[in-house]
Amino acid sequence: MVKTYGSDARFVVENYGESALAAKYGVKRYPAIFVNDVLVATPKDFGFTANGEGVEPGRYAPLRKAESHERFRADQTRVIDLLIAGKTSAASALAAPVDSGEASVMPALNFTDLNGRMVRPRDLAGKVVVVEFWATWCPPCRSTLAWLGELQKKHGDRVVVLALAVESDEPLVRRLASELNVPLRWAMRSPAMLAAFGDVSVVPTLLVYDPRGRMAGAHYGAPPTLHQDADATIARALTAR
C-alpha cells in the first residue's frame, strides 16, 4: 500500500524495545502501527490478547477476513492522506487509544514465592520494588536476572526484586533460579498477578515502583542500554519523596 504513494511515504520496521515511538506511547506488544507519530493500530485492534491469542473483538479482527484488511487499509490511508495534506490535527484525531496496561501503582498482592515464603504488601512498603517479568525461553532474561541479583546485593533491604516467570514450566524456573543463585524473590505469575499488573506480556518487562508504591519507570524488551537505563530509574526511585 505504501508503494502507491511513491516518494511521499516509506515503510519502516522497528523493534519495540529500541523504538522511540514505542517508548513514547508505552508500546510493549506488537503489532503496533504508526504513521509518523500517529498511533494507527494496537494489538488490541487486531484482536490480540495479552497472551497473543486473537480471541477478542477488535476493529480489524478477525485478521483472516477480507473486510478486516480493507477496514485497516482504509483507516491507514486516511491518516496518510491527512498528514501529506498537512492536516496533522485531523490525523491525530483518528489515532487509536494507547494500548497500555501495566499498573501505575504497585498492586497490593499476597503470594508465596518458590521458596515458600509469603510476599505481602507490608513486606514491600517503604522499599523500591523491581518487578521483572521473564521466561525460561528468553535468552536476554537470564543476563538481566543475574544483573538484578547483583543489584539486589548492592542495595540490600532498600530494594526488593520480584522475578515473576511467565509462560514457563515451574521445574525449569526452579532449575534456572538454582543455577543463577541470586537473592531474588522468585515466583510464577498467577492469574491474580495478571489481573493486577495489567496487560504485561512482552519479556523481559521490568517495572520499577518507588517507596510510596508509585510507578517510577518501565522498560520493555532487551535493548543494549537496558541495564544502564533501569539502573538510572532505580536510582531515581530510591531518592523519590
pLDDT for 85 beyond 60: yes
Question: What's this model's pTM, rounded to 2 decimal places?
Answer: 0.63
pLDDT for 71 beyond 50: yes
Cβ atoms 79, 189 nearer than 8 A: no
34: CB partners within 8 A, 6+ apart: 21, 40
Return the CATH fold of 111-238.
Glutaredoxin (3.40.30)
Report, as an integer, the average pLDDT of 153-175.
95
**Region(s) of the chain under CATH 3.40.30.10:** 111-238
pLDDT for 55 beyond 50: no
Report the C-alpha gap between 139 and 199 in whole angstroms. Answer: 22
Give the model's confidence band at 176: pLDDT under 50 very low, under 70 low, under 90 confident, else very high.
Answer: very high
pLDDT at residue 57 in the model: 63
pLDDT at residue 54 in the model: 45
